[in-house]
Structure 1
């Protein structure tokens, strides 16, 4: 069933139902109170402010490619520069990203910027309370099977995010407004955004908790989400965290409105399958981060991408494409090894499968 909510009254009615039936059972009274008091302010500026705590809703909206676009093509590097300037002017600290090999975390690879807090959450380190912006290269292996068939999907991307530990909910909503401001600067205006509210149950290894999330959808394309978290701790009270993250490459795709997401992340001088470019791209990130092939951990993922390139695309210009992506990732993270070392590691593993 497809249903749209066009008027303020319809949206408020739906939000009230969700708050009364679902949110009160899982969120603190402070969170509920602020949401109820701010729903008109934060919701009605947009086309809709809906919840899908109980069921999933679909939206009848125009594809984002038909919306107004920038006259000049914008690169991911350009977009990050605008974001950094915006958030620095608001008092955010611009912090360097973590190495993609998540040696002291609970995942093999970094999957989101919020993992800058891993040592605090899992090792009881002292909380950091400054508000921060980071452009964090990330890998999510669950998307590997979808890359070729599902537009807007890649296994590696830059998670641009603001993080604030010890944040009250008012401060979290203020950060949401900061993101609305920078998206407008980038040409993604609020009149074209739908913001979906829901709660989800999570457990990051310290106990179950409920996250309150706002999903930003631009012309049918999900750009990112703003999550307010109360993360349980064994020896102290829950850690409140404002975690707001977007996919940089999706934002740039939405800005440029090209036919394919891969127009943003593929070198123009090469042709080939999306899977090939995605494998080269993620393998390049792993290689310049110092990851080497092995049978477990980050090295296992390195091996899987090398195997895909060897079995399906050996004979294409894969090593030149990998070199292109060394340069791309070098704009966002400090390489742990030289290009020569990284390319040697990639070639050695790819050709190992050829020779088997």
Structure 2
């Protein structure tokens, strides 16, 4: 009886693990929103207001006060958020233009030249993981220099430019604190939740994986596993030896980095001691676009890896040699040319021919 109860408990626990894993697979794990608004002000009027928003490095909407309209770059976003959502966003930006002009004109008084144009920027970012907010920041930038920033988790504005310290009480006032929280929730966190909850804004792409096997001049074996051009960015790379996990050397990672095409890149390197040849190792890759973990074997034949300093020294030596050879040839040609020119310019030293008597 006790055995049956244990079997049922293990069965339930295993099903729960499978359900959690399936849930994590169906939900996009991590997403990031970035919004940047820029205002250029003259002493007389607000010259330009522009904004651009991204979700997971994909442009969502843009705005410019000349046209006074929101341009939606993802067609189905209007269906998810509703037409009124973007109309409200546009009206909000238009209504804030007069306040922006007043605020920037007031900030300009900190400078010595009130007649120059000034640029103010509002930079907001937030991140969610499985629908839960994990990060939320605001940065305030004046003429290219950040003067205030806030982590929404702490709720405290950090002053980076002492001359702007006198505006701390305005930023901390209940009115602007309430507006900041509502704007960040509605136009950052909730916006992203609705978008990514409806549909992936990009097609998922499986990783392209290469595994390399090098021996450095010190005799250590270097194994590297590179995954690139994958989306979304959640990925797992780990090393196994003869099908088993373990720690066999010094492991380093590049971290997940963005590519130019909005996909991602990751390289994990394992440095083994000289007595370990690197045989039997595999790189195991897990990604949402791979139905099962993909296993990539390490090439049997290693290649010698030259140290970067030696390679750089050889390149510099070749360049120096070629430069010296070129200079010598140029000097020789110049010498030959000047010798010929001298011979044609001076009179002959032979005795002159006397006229007949």
Q: Tell me which protein shows more strand as a share of its residues.
A: 2
Query: What TM-score comes out, normalization by structure 2 length?
Result: 0.22
Q: Quick check: which one's helix share is greater?
A: 1
Rg comparison, structure with higher value: 2
Task: With the length of structure 1 as denominator, give the TM-score of the two structures.
Answer: 0.22
Larger relative contact order, structure 1 or 2 (CA cutoff 8 Å, min sep 6): 1
